[in-house]
Chains A and B, each alone.
Chain A
Amino acid sequence: MLWLKNAHVIDPAQGISGIMDVAVQGGRVLKLGQGIAAADPLGGGEADVTDCAGKYLFPGLVDAHVHMREPGQEEKEDIASGSRAAVRGGVTSLICMANTSPVIDNQALVAFVQERGRQAALARIYPMAAVTKGMRGEELTEMAELAASGAKGFSDDGRGIQNGEIMRLALEYAKLTGCPVVSHCEDEFLAGRGVMRRGPASAARGLTGVPAAAESVMAARDVLLAGETGGRLHLAHVSAKGTLAALRAGKAAGWDITAEVNPHHLILTDEDVPLTNSDFKVNPPLPSAEDRDALLAALADGTIDMLASDHAPHTWEEKACPFAEAPFGMAALETALAALWTYLVRPGKLTAERLVDAYARRPAERFALEAGTLKPGAPADMVLFDPDWEETVTVEGMASKSANTPFLGRKLRGYPVKTWVGGRLVFERKA
């Protein structure tokens, strides 16, 4: 029996945002309400009581876009270290992208990822399977079997599917599974050898630019294909205004489309990219200020459904080189929530309620995970969040094997202080 008192509970699935007590038993939420009396029959036994005054209680975050790098690139991350990073960031359920080595494109590898997740025994780990064998963009994977084995969606994330016919077939065939096809929108001809968003900032740095259209033209294609097929489409890491136009049009037509945005695309812009710090190198690249503002508005109005970290760890050695030569990607699991709170919620650009809605409830619903809410009977995956906890992001502080985050050295305010998965305390922040 776990009894959390006087927390500010935010649970958008129930329309709740207010001071409440929460009782947990048997790994599930038993009851929540205002002032649960001590005499309430809570199932008997001694209660472990925590006074949560001044803190928030969220459903554990659900991250639909994480690169755990296992199997094959364990020097960057593995499912055990990534799980520690996840719970440290308040993430209790996550979906692992399929661009590992080998690619997650068969039943055995889907089982492997789930088994590694169970062994790590921290966050709930779900696999994404590839859309095409070997992520070569040529032949579809055995989607029906993959979904039956536990894959929660299909994605060749890391590469765009260049052949429109393959994408159309994927949207059709995935109907057998009910899982979304997750599109990494990137036209490789337009992206070329670009390393940051094309614009005055790339010109000033002499870095080759990726035009925003490299994403938007493929997003528009995929939205139209979702309309034509009636398939289920999810756009990964939306970063450009043009993509939002396609997204709005598709949603207005009633097509089955969702989209995610990464915290760094809402907080940083191309002007923030230092020539000598490749921790700011990410794909899609950091947007213009105008696009960043459009993304934030689209998250607030629901055009963009959810937040996801796109946690993409890389080693120090890989990143300690000139910008153009470093790999794309940012480690983000441990800083996503704190950065969102510091840069968006605190200044009033995003409500705490919408943050929890977008980073817990929506991804759980879209990918059919039992998570994202504190309804009685739901798994007691919870985050106790201290809005005033200050901590500087340091290499030493990272649970992840990698520390390639643009927030390194910055003091963020608002951190998870306790994380529970299935009622079990899996993380506690210490000063």
Chain B
Amino acid sequence: MSWRRKDLLDIETLTVDEMRLILDTAVSMKEVLTRPVKKLPTLRGKAVTMLFYEPSTRTRVSFETAAKILGADTASLAVAQSSVSKGESLLDTAKTLVAMNADLVVVRHASSGAPHFLAQNLPVGVINAGDGQHAHPTQALLDIYSLREKWGDVAGRKVLIVGDILHSRVARSNAVGLTKLGAEVVLVGPPTLLPPEMAYLGVRSSYDFDREIAGAHAVMALRLQLERQRSGLFPSLREYNRLYGLTRERLAKAAAGCLVLHPGPVNRGVEIMSDVADCPQSVIETQVTNGVAVRMALIYLLMGGGAVEDVVA
């Protein structure tokens, strides 16, 4: 199949074939990452612009690295917090970037739908690098890539997503993507962070981590935003860790070889214990490497694509 999209905004709108094309393309890209000279001429003369309205180092550097390996120039605009009241509107900022001849814009924004809004209004491609509580498609794709790398296929596997489901764009995009590829997803968290309306995802929800971990093939621990405690969503880190922390004892109840994932940055001792984060079953660091490969694949496909064999040969 060939790639036809201008933008990558969420997982919902991707077909299974499109997801597979991205993941397969990323396999070739990952091979490039193992070379002594990590540089391709493919996108020489193209410009990729990062527009980050939320503080982020990991994701921004991952995108920049991906674009640079492909030979593109990058520019970065870190805007402190959202554009709500003062200053230039999001639309005007984005138009300015296009006027500077950006060929692709990577956006992270605290408001759900901001990348979709830009995509509607800009002639160039937009990649969603995380919008509010809505979607984080590149994170989901790199997580799925990491699982496929170990398993070959995610179909039929039981994956737990544990933590603050309500506020998590990572949980949403992963639940949608994994389900599309045939995995069994179970959402786990306290009732205040896993309210009934999350049933829209069409996957099972549970408050009982100890029961659900039995037979799990992978556990994805979500980063807990510590300020949620002040909003009364959970009483203490201590109790949260007791009920939903990924410990050695819990992991022992999972299926043999159960993989451990975390989108980072990790709160060690809160949602995941240090020994688990660093254990052989943990793919947390591999996720970071795979993130570059997956983002290379996406930038490549969105900027014209073509047969990937010609590029990486």
Contact = CB atoms under 8 A, between A and B. Distances in A.
Closest 5 CB pairs of A and B: A206-B134, A322-B111, A200-B200, A206-B133, A275-B113
Interface string A250-278: 00000000000000000000000001100
A207 B112 contact: yes
B132 interface: yes
Interface residues of A, number: 21
Contacts of A320: 89, 91
Contacts of B84: 325
A198 B133 CA distance: 14
A314 to B, nearest CB: 14
Contact of B197 (A198, A317, A321, A325): A198
A280 to B, nearest CB: 12
A275 B91 contact: no
Given A203-B198, A205-B112, A275-B134, A321 B90 contact: yes
Interface stretch (B65-73, B114-122, B153-161, B242-250): B114-122
Interface string B75-104: 000000011100001110000000000000
A199 B83 CA distance: 27
Given A205-B134, A206-B169, A324 B200 contact: no
Given A207-B112, A275-B134, A322-B113, 19 more contacts: A198-B197, A199-B197, A201-B200, A203-B166, A203-B200, A204-B200, A205-B112, A205-B134, A206-B112, A206-B134, A208-B133, A275-B112, A275-B113, A275-B116, A276-B120, A321-B90, A322-B117, A324-B111, A325-B111
A209 B195 CA distance: 11
B312 interface: no
Contacts of B116: 275-276
Nearest to B231: A192
A323 B197 contact: no
Interface of B: 82-84, 89-91, 109, 111-114, 116-117, 120, 131-135, 166, 169, 172, 195, 197-200
9 contacts: A198-B197, A205-B113, A206-B113, A209-B197, A275-B112, A276-B117, A320-B89, A320-B91, A322-B111
A206 B132 contact: yes
B131 A206 contact: yes
Contact of B89 (A198, A199, A321, A323): A321
Nearest to A322: B111
B117 A206 contact: no
Best-buried of B90, B111, B166 by chain A (most CB within 10 Å): B111
Contacts, number: 67
Contact of B112 (A200, A321, A322): A322
Interface in A291-328: 317, 320-325
B47 to A, nearest CB: 24
A202 interface: yes
A207 B134 CA distance: 7
Contacts of A208: 133
A202 B198 CA distance: 9
Contacts of B120: 276
Contacts of B114: 322
Contacts of B111: 321-325
B112 A325 contact: no
Contact of B117 (A201, A204, A317, A321): A321
Nearest to B109: A322
A200 B201 CA distance: 9
Nearest to A320: B91
A255 to B, nearest CB: 34
Nearest to B53: A322
Contacts of A207: 112-113, 132-134
Contacts of B199: 200
Contacts of B112: 205-207, 275, 322-324
A237 B230 CA distance: 32
B131 to A, nearest CB: 7
A167 B161 CA distance: 46
A276 to B, nearest CB: 5
